[in-house]
Structure 1
């Protein structure tokens, strides 16, 4: 076994788990899940069958990653954040054939207790504040907060607030990494 699994965790036969991944207390990973290298799954995490998780993802305690959720590399899921899988759930109506794809792009961070409504794409290095409810796509590098979530700023790859307006033109250099970010209209790019 090239990954670490606590004795209370359940990894169903057939699950693909990358080298160096750590699976902690009371985690359940379903048999068709595909998980990359060097990931970490905190206590009481559930990973469904039709789920693909990239390398170096961190999933904190009490998170369920349902079918049709796809995480690229370096994604952070804060404690008790929520992914939904249907728009209009009813206990008496089976909607498993209506699951919508939810995509979380490389380097994104989702804060504690945030909710990501199904069918959403979080752009690369986007940052969802704790407690936010995201019900529409989020641009790359965007910082969103609130209910419903609205863009309130920009974030760097390193996780620093980018000191530029939401739209217009401008340039900002990260003091931690030296990376340069250029704002063109309402799109932020890393040079």
Structure 2
């Protein structure tokens, strides 16, 4: 297998785009000239990657997702079908606001469910899980499970994406056998440590 990236014949890859080894870009997708895509990524059908968008390694972006300027997606992130990113808080068709684009950061290992909406200017913590159809308008902590409109934290998930039997705030300990980690809740923060056999 070649290390070169692949694009379907219907995809448009503008000259200057940076695309990492073994990444695949499928039908009717468009990658702009100043976009950056890491290695081993999968971009589904009808995906748009704007100028100044940054995609890390091993990211999966499902069909019909547009990643706009100043959206930064770190390694191992999953974007479900039709996830919506924005980049202006108060858009008007008759006012040019391209100099007001806000940065949105999706940290390593996060998963964004189908049809979720991410309002610009927020940070989504590492390994958080945003449920299908949720609208995120505030920062999200690491490992948080976010549901609803507006999205609210309803629990915690492990690195492997399994819900942990812990309150949203307080004290507690829970194990995830799949990720082989133990999770410690202190207040409103969750920390992970490898399980020792």
> TM-score normalised by the shorter chain: which range applies?
over 0.9
Where does 1:90-105 land on structure 2 (aligned, <5 Å)?
A: 90-105=92-107
Asked whether the equivalents of residues 72 and 103 of structure 2 are also in contact (C-alpha less than 8 Å), the reply is yes
- Give the superposition deviation at 1:178: 2.1
Q: 2:151 is matched with which residue: 145, 149, 152?
A: 149
Does 2:24 correspond to 1:22? yes
Where does 1:46-65 land on structure 2 (aligned, <5 Å)?
A: 46-65=48-67
TM-score under structure 1 length normalisation: 0.98
Q: 1:42 is matched with which residue: 41, 44, 59?
A: 44
Consecutive unaligned residues in structure 2, runs of 5 or more:
none
Aligned pairs, how many?
Answer: 191
- Give the superposition deviation at 1:4: 1.0
Whole-angstrom distance in 1 between the partners of 2:115 and 2:56:
22
- Give the superposition deviation at 1:182: 0.5
The answer to which of 162-171 and 144-153 deviates more is 162-171
Q: Which residue of 2 aligns with 1:31?
A: 33
SS for the counterpart of 1:140 is coil
Whole-angstrom distance in 2 between the partners of 1:34 and 1:88:
26
Where does 1:1-191 land on structure 2 (aligned, <5 Å)?
A: 2-191=4-193
Consecutive unaligned residues in structure 1, runs of 5 or more:
none
SS for the counterpart of 1:97 is helix
Runs ≥4 in structure 1, deviation > 3 angstroms? none
- Give the superposition deviation at 1:120: 0.6
SS for the counterpart of 1:94 is coil
Once superposed, what is the RMSD of the aligned Cα atoms?
A: 0.8
- Give the superposition deviation at 1:66: 0.3
Whole-angstrom distance in 1 between the partners of 2:179 and 2:113:
23
Whole-angstrom distance in 1 between the partners of 2:58 and 2:157:
20
Whole-angstrom distance in 2 between the partners of 1:64 and 1:31:
15
TM-score under structure 2 length normalisation: 0.95
- Give the superposition deviation at 1:169: 1.1
